[in-house]
């Protein structure tokens, strides 16, 4: 009986001594968690944060301005060149049979340049395709922005959960220190157990610090996307993610053929480049300048002329062959880009589908109460360790496994979230890959 009491006393003293020696590490962890644990920070739902980003992101103005600029280019492409007015004025002398007369001579003309047939429609077609590219770029950016905002918001929530779990375990060590710090150790075993507790405590402090830093990093980027000050503190309300079943591989690949932003843009660029080739060929033909003119001369007699002037360039030296070759080369580049994009898109879809299905299978193996049971087991081990009924190895392992279980579940859900969102973005199919619910 006395031997049991001495052994329990030594074990308890070891816990207290170890926790005392690592209190400095916990202070670092608490300092890193301070911004995260700001109780005055407003609590916002995940979907509300995503909507806020889509409404206030400053970079959206860039794409809106790009669309406005392309509208101006499209308007310019359909406008005829302005007519040109020319006038001359001078003195005229006439000599005949020893006689001479002087008078004024002047003329005026108005000329309009007419493009070779087909040029203006081709320029309008090129401008219309540029407008489609600008609109697709805007839609692609908004889809990527929403996915990134949702991932960042969930990262903040996950870091909050990890930090709370680490703090919960840290509080247990702190309470043990306050109770057992007065105990005296004896023998080799207590010293070795002290080192075990020290190592565990350092690991715990590192986990808490990393979770706090992850939360702050995600929050900084989230504030950047929202157009908010860097110091704006925000807490994400508890959220439960539910994942839908992904369509079949063939359905996803077929949907991507018509819905994928990058593939649509490469096709439009190829069509646009075809119009540029046609325009370069037509630019080899001259434009026609046509317009009326009127001239008046007074030198003895009065002479007037009224007529129509026609002028055009003779394509003798430059038939625009260089620009035609350049445009055809650009079209071949566009064809290659479309082919490469198609192959790369198929690969990414298959990768994300495999990742999404794997993560869903992994999540399906978790029982809803798994993490809660780990938490209860860690609390039970803490109580029984104080009574001497649980060895230190079991106690430390349960605390570590509880934290690792929390991290594993949160990280797996985050990976499923990223894969599901990317799969929807690549294919354009909204199959309810990710749904958010407030528990």
Residue 177: the pLDDT is 61
The helix (run of H) or strand (run of E) holding residue 43 is: strand 43-44
Quote the tokens at residue 399: 């605390």
Contact indicator for 169, 395 with CB cutoff of 8 Å = no
CATH topology of domain 2-80+120-284+321-437: Outer membrane efflux proteins (OEP) (1.20.1600)
What are the residues whose beta carbons fall under 8 Å from the beta carbon of 77, sequence distance 6 or more?
120, 123, 124, 126, 127
The Cα diameter of the chain in Å comes to 155
In the chain, domain spans: 2-80+120-284+321-437, 81-114+287-318
For residues 292 and 309, give the distance between their C-alpha atoms in angstroms, rounded to a whole number.
6
- The DSSP letter of residue 82 is P
- The DSSP letter of residue 36 is T
What are the residues whose beta carbons fall under 8 Å from the beta carbon of 57, sequence distance 6 or more?
145, 225, 226, 227
pLDDT in tens, the chain (439 residues): 344 333 433 333 333 333 333 343 333 334 344 444 455 677 888 889 999 999 999 999 999 999 999 999 999 998 999 999 999 998 887 777 666 778 888 999 999 999 999 999 999 999 999 999 999 999 999 999 999 999 999 999 999 889 888 888 877 776 666 555 556 666 676 666 666 777 777 778 788 888 888 889 999 999 999 998 988 888 888 888 889 999 999 999 999 999 999 999 999 999 999 999 999 999 988 899 999 999 988 877 788 899 999 999 888 888 889 999 999 999 999 999 999 999 999 999 999 999 999 999 999 998 888 888 888 888 888 888 777 788 877 878 888 888 888 999 999 999 999 999 999 999 999 888 777 766 6
Residue 99: the pLDDT is 67
pTM here? 0.79
> CA nearest 9: which of 192, 188, 198, 181?
181
DSSP readout, 302-361?
EEEEEEEEEEE---SS--SHHHHHHHHHHHHHHHHHHHHHHHHHHHHHHHHHHHHHHHHH
CA distances, 124 to each of 74, 274, 276, 286, 351 (Å): 6, 13, 11, 19, 40
Q: Which residues are 113's β-sheet partners? A: 289
> CA nearest 179: which of 18, 12, 388?
12
For residues 412 and 201, give the distance between their C-alpha atoms in angstroms, rounded to a whole number.
25
> Does residue 181 sit in helix, strand or coil?
coil
Query: In this structure, which CATH number among 3.30.420, 3.40.50, 2.20.130, 3.40.1560 belongs to the domain 81-114+287-318?
Result: 2.20.130
> Does residue 152 sit in helix, strand or coil?
helix
Residue 59: the pLDDT is 94
E strands of 141-198, at which residues?
none
By CB atoms closer than 10 A (0-12, 13-18, 19+), residue 177 is buried
Residue 232: the pLDDT is 84
> CA nearest 196: which of 438, 17, 40, 73?
17
CA distances, 225 to each of 54, 146, 264 (Å): 9, 10, 26
Residues in the chain: 439
Q: Which long-range contacts (CB under 8 A, 24 or more apart) does 140-144 make?
A: 140/261, 140/262, 140/265, 141/59, 141/60, 141/63, 142/54, 142/60, 143/261, 143/425, 144/425
For residues 346 and 192, give the distance between their C-alpha atoms in angstroms, rounded to a whole number.
56
């Amino acid at each position: 009986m006395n031997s049991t009491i001495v052994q329990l006393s030594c074990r308890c003293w070891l816990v207290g001594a170890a926790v005392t020696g690592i209190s400095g590490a916990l202070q670092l962890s608490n300092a890193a968690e301070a911004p995260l644990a700001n109780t005055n920070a407003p609590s916002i739902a995940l979907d509300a944060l995503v909507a806020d980003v889509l409404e206030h992101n400053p970079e959206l103005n860039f794409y809106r301005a790009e669309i406005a600029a392309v509208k101006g280019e499209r308007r310019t492409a359909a406008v005829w060149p302005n007519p040109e007015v020319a006038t001359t004025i001078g003195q005229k002398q006439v000599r005949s049979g020893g006689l001479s007369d002087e008078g004024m001579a002047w003329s005026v003309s108005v000329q309009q340049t007419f493009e070779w047939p087909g040029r203006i429609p081709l320029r309008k077609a090129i401008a219309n395709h540029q407008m489609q590219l600008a609109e697709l770029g805007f839609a692609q950016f908004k889809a990527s922005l929403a996915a990134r905002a949702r991932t960042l918001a969930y990262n903040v929530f996950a870091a909050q959960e990890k930090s709370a779990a680490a703090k919960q375990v840290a509080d247990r060590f702190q309470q043990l220190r306050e109770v057992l710090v007065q105990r005296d150790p004896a023998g080799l075993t207590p010293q070795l157990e002290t080192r075990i507790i020290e190592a565990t405590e350092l690991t715990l402090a590192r986990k808490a610090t990393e979770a706090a830093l992850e939360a702050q990093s995600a929050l900084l980027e989230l504030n950047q996307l929202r157009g908010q000050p860097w110091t704006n503190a925000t807490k994400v309300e508890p959220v439960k993610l539910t994942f839908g079943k992904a369509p079949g591989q063939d359905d996803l690949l077929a949907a991507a053929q018509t819905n994928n932003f990058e593939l649509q843009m490469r096709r439009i660029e190829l069509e646009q480049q075809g119009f540029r080739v046609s325009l370069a060929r037509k630019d080899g033909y001259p434009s026609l300048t046509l317009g009326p003119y009127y001239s008046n001369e007074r030198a003895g007699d009065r002479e007037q002329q009224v007529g129509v002037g026609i002028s055009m360039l003779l394509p003798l030296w430059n038939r625009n062959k260089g620009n035609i070759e350049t445009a055809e080369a650009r079209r071949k580049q566009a064809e290659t880009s479309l082919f490469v994009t198609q192959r790369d898109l198929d690969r990414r879809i298959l990768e994300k589908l495999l990742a999404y299905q794997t993560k869903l299978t992994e999540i399906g193996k978790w029982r809803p109460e798994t993490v809660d049971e780990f938490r209860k087991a860690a609390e039970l081990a803490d109580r029984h360790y104080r009574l001497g009924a649980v060895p230190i190895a079991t106690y430390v392992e349960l605390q570590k496994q509880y934290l690792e279980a929390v991290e594993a579940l949160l990280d797996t859900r985050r990976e499923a979230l990223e894969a599901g969102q990317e799969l929807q973005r690549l294919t354009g199919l909204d199959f309810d890959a990710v749904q958010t619910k407030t528990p």
